[in-house]
A and B are shown apart, each in its own frame.
Chain A
Amino acid sequence: DAGVIQSPRHEVTEMGQEVTLRCKPISGHDYLFWYRQTMMRGLELLIYFNNNVPIDDSGMPEDRFSAKMPNASFSTLKIQPSEPRDSAVYFCASSLSNQPQHFGDGTRLSIL
């Protein structure tokens, strides 16, 4: 039973470049969440989708961040242009209705 799959696991890029993080939720789950984790701020909810529709994006830090969910099995989180302060671990999670969330292993992003 495959869990939530995130790619890449690690990304190192230069400031100003576009970064795209990818997530494949567990099949059949209707909720998808993007989180960011830093030492300073802990785990923060950025945005979540229900049935592929963004429900709450109030946690997205600024317009440089965008997220899409074109179908039930794929979501992307894009940062353009990236800045050093975006360095963090980004987690994707999915759940079925109001059941517990299942997290991926995260993408460790470093912006130089």
Chain B
Amino acid sequence: DAKTTQPNSMESNEEEPVHLPCNHSTISGTDYIHWYRQLPSQGPEYVIHGLTSNVNNRMASLAIAEDRKSSTLILHRATLRDAAVYYCILRKTGNQFYFGTGTSLTVIP
């Protein structure tokens, strides 16, 4: 299984930026880095993904280290609705995902 390591939990104040780190030292050259989040009582929801270059979309930004052994999901202004478990995942060939334990994000009003 492709391994990723994330902190178990993080806190952020509302309307402040949040940087969620992920280590994936065993990443191979063809693995894409995906981020999903799971709100309470819902299925996981796609956030962003990338291969080598930094990526931006309407939800977040993804910063990928030059050696690709780590990445950071950036939420530019955390809201209460961003409280969720965030999963960093390496997508292997065949579109297989292996979810780790994720980071539980608490947003403080």
Contacts and interface: CB of A to CB of B under 8 A. Distances in A.
Contact of B44 (A43, A48, A55): A43
Interface stretch (B19-27, B60-68, B96-104): B96-104
A56 interface: yes
> Which range contains the number of B residues in contact with the other chain?
20 to 34
B43 A106 contact: yes
**Chain A interface mostly:** strand
Nearest to A35: B99
Nearest to A6: B43
> Which range contains the number of A residues in contact with the other chain?
20 to 34
A70 to B, nearest CB: 21
B43 A48 contact: no
Contacts of B87: 43
Interface of A: 4, 31, 33, 35, 42-45, 48, 50, 55-56, 91, 93, 95, 97-98, 100-106
A103 B45 contact: yes
Contacts of B46: 100-102
Given A48-B94, A48-B96, A100-B34, A91 B101 contact: no
